[in-house]
């Protein structure tokens, strides 16, 4: 791998900077039990996944049909419609709109709680890499600007470019955001590395962008499938310090 030629490191957020990655099916199961929806709470995980997939498919079609920009976010009414679609697919008899509002509030809290778990010595690693002369950026599949989160954890000063999107065509595994970061920093994509926790999204996006792919397993159960000659694998962010010693 060409780590010696890298001048820029671009990071995913969930499962990489913080973790673990959000599991929507697990959260939906938790919400149904908390809401005391006995029949729905006993549904198998694949049934919950199908309900989420149906709503996500509608949302994807909606975003494409309306040609929304990369950093588009759902309005409150769109959020309610999306959440209501999930609950209605599960046969929930309660007023869908009231439950959808409660679902969205708990979802926001759950995502915030996950974000409180930072990668080990995250700030120290970022500061060290920056001091060594590397440009740092963010490319993340998400709705909403993460800059406020970075400020709360005092790491915002390390990122020179931040890209985020959950819009089809722009989100990973499309290389769009990764190339946007490289373009903003005026760095050739071949001189960039991308660090993430997902082979399906992060590694594929990095390879499509021509960047050095790096898989982190800090918030995942290790397995043989996580190791390959096609990418580097690290067990924690601080492993980067042994790979990237000085930018040229």
> In degrees rounded to 5, what are phi and psi of residue 189?
-55, -30
Looking at residue 214, what DSSP letter applies?
A: E
pLDDT in tens, 121-161: 999 999 999 999 999 999 999 988 999 889 989 999 999 99
Is residue 177 within 8 A of residue 170, CB to CB? The reply is yes
Q: What is the pLDDT of residues 82-114, one digit of tens each?
A: 888 887 887 776 655 666 666 666 666 555 554
User: pLDDT category, 81, cuts 50, 70, 90?
Assistant: confident
- Tokens 């159960």 map to which residue? 221
With a pLDDT cut of 70, the percent of the chain lying above it is 80
Q: Which two tokens stand for residue 85?
A: 């679609």
pLDDT digits (tens, 9 = 90+) for 218-248: 988 878 778 898 999 999 999 999 999 998 7
pLDDT at position 115, please? 54
**68: Cβ–Cβ under 8 A, 6 or more apart, which residues?**
167
Q: What's the angle, vertex CA 135, arms to CA 134 and CA 140, rounded to 5? A: 125
Q: What is the DSSP-derived secondary structure letter of residue 144? A: S
Who contacts 148 (Cβ-Cβ below 8 Å, separation ≥6)? none
Q: What is the mean pLDDT of the chain?
A: 86
| Residue 177's pLDDT band (cuts 50, 70, 90) | very high
Give the global pTM.
0.87
């Amino acid at each position: 791998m060409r780590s010696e030629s890298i001048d820029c490191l671009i990071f995913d957020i969930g499962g990489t900077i913080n973790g673990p990655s959000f599991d929507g099916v697990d959260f939906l199961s938790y919400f149904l039990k908390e809401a005391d929806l006995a029949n729905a709470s006993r549904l198998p995980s694949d049934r919950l996944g199908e309900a989420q997939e149906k709503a996500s498919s509608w949302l994807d079609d909606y975003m494409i049909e309306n040609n929304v920009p990369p950093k588009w976010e759902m309005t409150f009414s769109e959020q309610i419609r999306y959440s209501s679609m999930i609950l209605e697919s599960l046969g929930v008899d309660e007023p869908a709109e009231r439950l959808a509002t409660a679902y969205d509030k708990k979802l926001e809290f759950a995502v915030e709680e996950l974000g409180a778990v930072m990668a080990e010595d995250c700030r120290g690693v970022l500061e060290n890499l920056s001091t060594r002369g590397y440009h740092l950026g963010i490319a993340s599949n998400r709705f909403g600007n993460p800059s406020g989160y970075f400020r709360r954890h005092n790491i915002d000063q390390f990122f020179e470019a931040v890209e985020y999107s959950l819009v089809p065509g722009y989100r990973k595994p499309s290389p769009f955001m990764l190339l946007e970061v490289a373009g903003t920093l005026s760095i050739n994509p071949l001189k960039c590395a991308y660090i993430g926790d997902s082979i399906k999204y992060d590694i594929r996006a990095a390879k499509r962008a021509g960047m050095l792919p790096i898989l982190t397993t800090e918030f995942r159960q290790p397995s043989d499938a996580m190791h390959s000659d096609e990418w580097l694998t690290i067990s924690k962010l601080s492993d980067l310090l042994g790979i990237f010693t000085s930018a040229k």
